[in-house]
Protein backbone atom coordinates (compact mmCIF):
# COMPACT_ATOMS: atom_id res chain seq x y z
CA UNK A 1 0.00 0.00 0.00
CA UNK A 2 1.55 3.27 -1.16
CA UNK A 3 0.54 6.24 0.97
CA UNK A 4 2.18 8.82 -1.29
CA UNK A 5 -0.41 10.14 -3.74
CA UNK A 6 -3.23 8.13 -2.16
CA UNK A 7 -6.79 9.17 -1.42
CA UNK A 8 -7.43 8.10 2.17
CA UNK A 9 -10.41 8.04 4.54
CA UNK A 10 -9.95 7.77 8.32
CA UNK A 11 -13.06 7.26 10.43
CA UNK A 12 -12.84 8.19 14.08
CA UNK A 13 -10.31 10.76 12.94
CA UNK A 14 -11.10 13.59 15.35
CA UNK A 15 -8.90 12.28 18.17
CA UNK A 16 -6.53 9.58 19.36
CA UNK A 17 -5.26 7.02 16.88
CA UNK A 18 -7.37 8.37 14.03
CA UNK A 19 -6.02 11.87 14.44
CA UNK A 20 -2.43 10.60 14.60
CA UNK A 21 -2.90 8.43 11.50
CA UNK A 22 -4.46 11.29 9.55
CA UNK A 23 -1.53 13.55 10.36
CA UNK A 24 1.02 10.88 9.50
CA UNK A 25 -0.61 10.09 6.14
CA UNK A 26 -0.39 13.75 5.13
CA UNK A 27 3.27 13.84 6.22
CA UNK A 28 3.92 10.84 3.98
CA UNK A 29 2.47 12.50 0.92
CA UNK A 30 -1.15 11.40 0.71
CA UNK A 31 -3.02 13.25 -2.02
CA UNK A 32 -5.95 13.90 0.30
CA UNK A 33 -7.03 12.65 3.72
CA UNK A 34 -10.68 12.70 4.70
CA UNK A 35 -10.96 13.05 8.48
CA UNK A 36 -14.32 11.50 9.34
CA UNK A 37 -15.98 11.50 12.75
CA UNK A 38 -19.32 11.68 14.52
CA UNK A 39 -17.77 14.77 16.13
CA UNK A 40 -18.03 17.05 13.11
CA UNK A 41 -16.29 20.09 14.63
CA UNK A 42 -13.48 17.85 15.90
CA UNK A 43 -13.02 16.34 12.44
CA UNK A 44 -12.99 19.81 10.88
CA UNK A 45 -10.37 21.01 13.37
CA UNK A 46 -8.02 18.11 12.59
CA UNK A 47 -8.60 18.56 8.85
CA UNK A 48 -7.79 22.27 9.08
CA UNK A 49 -4.62 21.47 10.98
CA UNK A 50 -3.29 18.93 8.47
CA UNK A 51 -4.78 20.26 5.24
CA UNK A 52 -7.37 17.50 4.86
CA UNK A 53 -11.13 17.40 4.49
CA UNK A 54 -13.31 17.13 7.59
CA UNK A 55 -16.60 15.24 7.44
CA UNK A 56 -19.23 14.61 10.10
CA UNK A 57 -20.44 11.04 9.73
CA UNK A 58 -22.18 8.33 11.73
CA UNK A 59 -20.39 5.13 10.64
CA UNK A 60 -23.54 3.10 11.33
CA UNK A 61 -25.48 5.09 8.69
CA UNK A 62 -25.03 3.15 5.44
CA UNK A 63 -26.68 5.80 3.27
CA UNK A 64 -24.27 8.41 4.62
CA UNK A 65 -21.32 6.09 3.89
CA UNK A 66 -22.48 5.68 0.29
CA UNK A 67 -22.89 9.43 -0.11
CA UNK A 68 -19.37 10.00 1.23
CA UNK A 69 -17.82 7.41 -1.10
CA UNK A 70 -19.58 8.93 -4.10
CA UNK A 71 -18.60 12.46 -3.07
CA UNK A 72 -14.94 11.48 -2.72
CA UNK A 73 -14.95 9.73 -6.09
CA UNK A 74 -16.45 12.82 -7.72
CA UNK A 75 -14.00 15.20 -6.08
CA UNK A 76 -10.77 13.20 -5.89
CA UNK A 77 -11.18 9.90 -7.70
CA UNK A 78 -11.10 6.36 -6.28
CA UNK A 79 -10.46 5.72 -2.61
CA UNK A 80 -7.13 3.94 -2.16
CA UNK A 81 -7.26 3.34 1.60
CA UNK A 82 -10.24 3.19 3.93
CA UNK A 83 -9.31 3.18 7.61
CA UNK A 84 -12.23 1.90 9.66
CA UNK A 85 -10.95 3.31 12.94
CA UNK A 86 -14.10 4.47 14.74
CA UNK A 87 -14.89 2.39 17.79
CA UNK A 88 -16.69 2.40 21.12
CA UNK A 89 -16.58 0.39 24.33
CA UNK A 90 -18.70 -0.32 27.37
CA UNK A 91 -17.70 -1.40 30.85
CA UNK A 92 -19.51 -4.45 32.12
CA UNK A 93 -20.61 -7.90 31.08
CA UNK A 94 -23.78 -9.92 30.72
CA UNK A 95 -25.71 -7.50 32.92
CA UNK A 96 -25.55 -4.81 30.22
CA UNK A 97 -28.75 -4.43 28.25
CA UNK A 98 -29.23 -5.15 24.55
CA UNK A 99 -28.96 -1.48 23.57
CA UNK A 100 -25.35 -1.39 24.81
CA UNK A 101 -24.44 -4.65 23.09
CA UNK A 102 -26.10 -3.56 19.86
CA UNK A 103 -24.32 -0.19 19.87
CA UNK A 104 -20.94 -1.93 20.20
CA UNK A 105 -21.86 -4.42 17.49
CA UNK A 106 -23.04 -1.70 15.11
CA UNK A 107 -19.95 0.49 15.47
CA UNK A 108 -17.20 -2.09 16.01
CA UNK A 109 -18.32 -4.67 13.43
CA UNK A 110 -21.25 -3.73 11.20
CA UNK A 111 -19.77 -0.34 10.29
CA UNK A 112 -16.95 -2.22 8.52
CA UNK A 113 -19.44 -4.48 6.75
CA UNK A 114 -21.48 -1.51 5.55
CA UNK A 115 -18.43 0.29 4.18
CA UNK A 116 -17.13 -2.83 2.47
CA UNK A 117 -20.44 -3.47 0.71
CA UNK A 118 -19.73 -0.39 -1.36
CA UNK A 119 -15.93 -0.30 -1.42
CA UNK A 120 -15.06 -3.90 -2.29
CA UNK A 121 -16.97 -4.04 -5.61
CA UNK A 122 -15.20 -0.85 -6.66
CA UNK A 123 -11.81 -2.19 -5.59
CA UNK A 124 -12.37 -5.50 -7.38
CA UNK A 125 -13.31 -3.64 -10.57
CA UNK A 126 -10.11 -1.57 -10.30
CA UNK A 127 -7.92 -4.42 -9.09
CA UNK A 128 -6.67 -2.39 -6.12
CA UNK A 129 -7.74 -0.84 -2.83
CA UNK A 130 -6.85 -1.32 0.82
CA UNK A 131 -8.91 -1.76 3.97
CA UNK A 132 -7.47 -1.04 7.40
CA UNK A 133 -9.60 -2.10 10.37
CA UNK A 134 -8.65 -0.85 13.81
CA UNK A 135 -9.48 -3.76 16.08
CA UNK A 136 -7.49 -4.16 19.29
CA UNK A 137 -5.27 -6.61 21.11
CA UNK A 138 -8.60 -7.40 22.81
CA UNK A 139 -9.69 -8.85 19.47
CA UNK A 140 -6.82 -11.33 19.50
CA UNK A 141 -6.83 -11.99 23.25
CA UNK A 142 -9.58 -10.43 25.40
CA UNK A 143 -10.00 -7.54 27.80
CA UNK A 144 -11.13 -7.68 31.38
CA UNK A 145 -14.20 -5.80 32.50
CA UNK A 146 -15.67 -5.04 29.09
CA UNK A 147 -17.44 -7.94 27.42
CA UNK A 148 -19.08 -6.00 24.52
CA UNK A 149 -15.74 -4.49 23.52
CA UNK A 150 -13.80 -7.76 23.72
CA UNK A 151 -16.44 -9.73 21.84
CA UNK A 152 -17.00 -7.19 19.04
CA UNK A 153 -13.28 -6.61 18.54
CA UNK A 154 -12.93 -10.37 18.03
CA UNK A 155 -15.63 -9.93 15.42
CA UNK A 156 -13.69 -7.12 13.74
CA UNK A 157 -10.58 -9.30 13.50
CA UNK A 158 -12.63 -12.19 12.11
CA UNK A 159 -14.23 -9.94 9.50
CA UNK A 160 -10.84 -8.58 8.43
CA UNK A 161 -9.56 -12.15 8.06
CA UNK A 162 -12.59 -13.11 6.00
CA UNK A 163 -12.20 -10.17 3.62
CA UNK A 164 -8.49 -10.93 3.18
CA UNK A 165 -9.15 -14.62 2.45
CA UNK A 166 -12.12 -13.99 0.18
CA UNK A 167 -10.88 -11.00 -1.80
CA UNK A 168 -7.09 -11.00 -1.41
CA UNK A 169 -6.71 -12.48 -4.89
CA UNK A 170 -8.96 -9.74 -6.30
CA UNK A 171 -6.48 -6.98 -5.53
CA UNK A 172 -8.05 -6.04 -2.19
CA UNK A 173 -5.47 -5.48 0.54
CA UNK A 174 -6.45 -5.85 4.20
CA UNK A 175 -4.66 -4.86 7.38
CA UNK A 176 -5.87 -5.31 10.95
CA UNK A 177 -4.48 -2.93 13.55
CA UNK A 178 -4.39 -4.47 17.04
CA UNK A 179 -2.79 -2.12 19.58
CA UNK A 180 -2.83 -2.77 23.32
CA UNK A 181 -2.73 0.25 25.65
CA UNK A 182 -2.76 3.61 23.85
CA UNK A 183 -3.11 6.99 25.53
CA UNK A 184 -6.36 8.24 23.97
CA UNK A 185 -9.67 9.69 25.24
CA UNK A 186 -10.94 6.11 25.62
CA UNK A 187 -8.23 5.32 28.20
CA UNK A 188 -8.36 8.49 30.30
CA UNK A 189 -10.61 7.19 33.10
CA UNK A 190 -9.21 5.75 36.32
CA UNK A 191 -10.46 2.78 38.30
CA UNK A 192 -12.18 0.93 35.44
CA UNK A 193 -10.89 -2.64 35.14
CA UNK A 194 -10.50 -2.63 31.36
CA UNK A 195 -8.39 0.53 31.49
CA UNK A 196 -6.36 -0.58 34.48
CA UNK A 197 -5.37 -3.71 32.53
CA UNK A 198 -3.83 -1.78 29.65
CA UNK A 199 -2.21 0.73 32.00
CA UNK A 200 -0.59 -2.13 33.90
CA UNK A 201 0.81 -3.55 30.67
CA UNK A 202 2.22 -0.25 29.38
CA UNK A 203 0.73 2.63 27.41
CA UNK A 204 2.09 4.12 24.20
CA UNK A 205 1.21 7.33 22.36
CA UNK A 206 -1.10 7.49 19.31
CA UNK A 207 1.83 8.74 17.25
CA UNK A 208 3.65 5.48 17.88
CA UNK A 209 0.63 3.59 16.60
CA UNK A 210 0.57 5.78 13.48
CA UNK A 211 4.24 4.97 12.85
CA UNK A 212 3.46 1.25 13.11
CA UNK A 213 0.57 1.69 10.67
CA UNK A 214 2.77 3.40 8.08
CA UNK A 215 5.38 0.65 8.38
CA UNK A 216 2.79 -2.12 8.24
CA UNK A 217 1.02 -0.70 5.20
CA UNK A 218 4.33 -0.40 3.36
CA UNK A 219 4.75 -4.16 3.84
CA UNK A 220 1.09 -5.01 3.11
CA UNK A 221 1.07 -6.66 6.54
CA UNK A 222 -2.20 -8.15 7.73
CA UNK A 223 -1.57 -7.86 11.46
CA UNK A 224 -0.14 -4.52 12.57
CA UNK A 225 0.99 -4.79 16.18
CA UNK A 226 2.33 -1.57 17.74
CA UNK A 227 2.95 -3.69 20.86
CA UNK A 228 5.11 -6.56 19.52
CA UNK A 229 4.53 -8.60 22.67
CA UNK A 230 0.92 -9.11 21.61
CA UNK A 231 2.13 -11.68 19.07
CA UNK A 232 3.74 -13.67 21.87
CA UNK A 233 0.60 -13.42 24.01
CA UNK A 234 -1.51 -14.71 21.13
CA UNK A 235 0.85 -17.65 20.59
CA UNK A 236 0.73 -18.53 24.28
CA UNK A 237 -3.04 -18.36 24.25
CA UNK A 238 -3.27 -20.71 21.26
CA UNK A 239 -0.56 -23.04 22.58
CA UNK A 240 -2.06 -23.61 26.02
CA UNK A 241 -5.54 -22.12 26.33
CA UNK A 242 -6.15 -23.45 29.82
CA UNK A 243 -2.95 -21.94 31.20
CA UNK A 244 -3.68 -18.63 29.51
CA UNK A 245 -7.21 -18.48 30.95
CA UNK A 246 -5.89 -19.22 34.41
CA UNK A 247 -3.31 -16.47 34.01
CA UNK A 248 -6.00 -13.97 33.01
CA UNK A 249 -8.08 -14.98 36.00
CA UNK A 250 -5.09 -14.32 38.27
CA UNK A 251 -4.48 -10.94 36.63
CA UNK A 252 -8.10 -9.97 37.18
CA UNK A 253 -7.98 -11.03 40.83
CA UNK A 254 -4.80 -9.01 41.36
CA UNK A 255 -6.20 -5.88 39.77
CA UNK A 256 -9.41 -6.17 41.75
CA UNK A 257 -7.40 -6.48 44.96
Which residues participate in catalysis according to the annotation? Answer: 149
Q: Alpha-carbon distance 114 to 61, whole Å?
A: 8
Looking only at the bridges linking them, the beta strands covering 129-134 and 172-177 are: parallel
Question: Contact, 37 vs 30, CB < 8 A?
Answer: no
Looking only at the bridges linking them, the beta strands covering 32-37 and 53-56 are: parallel
Closest CA to 157 of 118, 106, 112: 112
Q: Alpha-carbon distance 226 to 247, whole Å?
A: 23
Amino acid sequence: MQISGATIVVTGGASGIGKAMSRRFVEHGAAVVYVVDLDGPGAAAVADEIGGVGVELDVTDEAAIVNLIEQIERDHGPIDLWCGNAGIGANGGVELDDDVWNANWNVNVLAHVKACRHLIPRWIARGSGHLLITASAAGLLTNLGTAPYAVTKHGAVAFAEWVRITHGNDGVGVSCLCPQGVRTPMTEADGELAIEVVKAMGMIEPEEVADAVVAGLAEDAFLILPHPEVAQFEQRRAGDRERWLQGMQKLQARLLG
